[in-house]
Amino acid sequence: MNKNISIWAYMPVTFITALFCCLLWGSASPAIKIAYKLFNIAADDTASRIMLAGARFMIAGAMTVILGSVIARLLLLPKRGSVKYIAILSLLQTVGQYFFFFMSLAYISGVRGSIINASGNFLAILAAVYVFRLEKLTMRKFTGCLIGFAGIVMILGGPSALTGSSISIQGEGAMIAATLFYAFSACCIKIFSSHENPVILSGYQFALGGLILYIIGWVMGGELVFYSASCIYNLIYMGFISAGAYTLWGILLKHNPVSRVSVFGFINPVMGVVLSAVFLGENKEAFSLTGLLSLVMVALGIIIVNTNAKAIKN
């Protein structure tokens, strides 16, 4: 074994770690929908949903900073000049994205949410090309986005007959809004990471964004009632989803070419659909012909836009 190569750069370790991260991210939709039941939060109780999101990300922020500090063997503190970056990211990635994400999952299935949420991968590319001018739109990226968006359109138009629901602003519309916030935040992270440690950016923006969401929910009259110990376990797990996945994913990106890691992003919607079927009983929608085809197209689109043969081999 070459001592100059980090263990995180070996493909088996990279794959297993990326798979674990995608397992965590994929479990977000089921975990949130289960939380609504545990905390008895009704679909129209927006204030309590915002409070729940805020509590989750305050915990996630604390976990991220602690995990990052343990790995770095020093307390991670932001530079004075990084406060503005943390503030911008907290408004985009946590407050904006998850305000709509938590709203959406009160009205749509975990399967639909997981597939539609994957459109953020393609919107981030378009934002990087046309808004932030960070890269150029190649034929490979265009093809991947086209296939991915076709999968999104398919899931939007197909499963309503199976689930008895129709497209709504609060459901599908809110999830699309969440992906737009994700797309802009992803580009900002790419820019801000040249000025500050991405783990520091993630940890502190989670905490700040979570605090803002919690205060907004509280002012609106929301409440979180812990009816059982399961509420505590669920909340801690939801915090760990973001803290664990972002920390490990950041380590992989540090020791590997970006394309080599990003290509595994196709596993996210797959995990989301499978776990929604397992824990939410959404088998009929998850394994319908429309559901499977849309999932395959979205996953294929993510693979295409992130595949760089040269980077993967190195």
Distances (CA, A) of 167 to 121, 160, 174, 258, 302: 22, 7, 11, 35, 24
How far apart are the C-alpha atoms of 35 and 313, rounded to whole Å?
Answer: 42
Q: What is d(CA 212, CA 87) in angstroms, rounded to the nearest whole number?
A: 11
Quick one: which of 137, 128, 124, 125 has its CA closest to 183?
Answer: 124
Q: State the Cα–Cα distance between residues 92 and 181, nearest whole angstrom.
A: 6
Mean pLDDT value of segment 103-130: 93
Rounded CA separation 94/88 (Å) = 10
Q: Which two tokens stand for residue 173?
A: 């519309």
Question: Is the confidence at residue 262, as pLDDT, over 90?
Answer: no
pLDDT of residue 312: 37
pLDDT of 209 higher than 50: yes
pLDDT confidence of residue 310: 46
Instruction: For residue 168, name the pLDDT band (cuts at 50, 70, 90).
Output: confident
Which two tokens mark 151? 């999968």
* pLDDT, the chain, mean: 90
Q: Which helix (H) or strand (E) holds 183?
A: helix 174-192
What DSSP state is assigned to residue 9? G
Q: What is the pTM of this model?
A: 0.89
**Integer Cα distance of 98 and 209 in angstroms:** 9
pLDDT of residue 2: 53
For residue 193, what pLDDT is reported? 85
> Residue 39 CB: number of other CB atoms within 10 A?
23
Measured at the alpha carbon of residue 100, what is the angle toward residues 113 and 297, in degrees to the nearest 5? 30
Q: What does the block give as tokens for 120?
A: 């953020």
Higher-scoring residue by pLDDT: 160, 173: 173
Condensed to tens digits (0 to 9), the pLDDT of residues 218-242 reads: 999 999 999 999 999 999 999 999 9
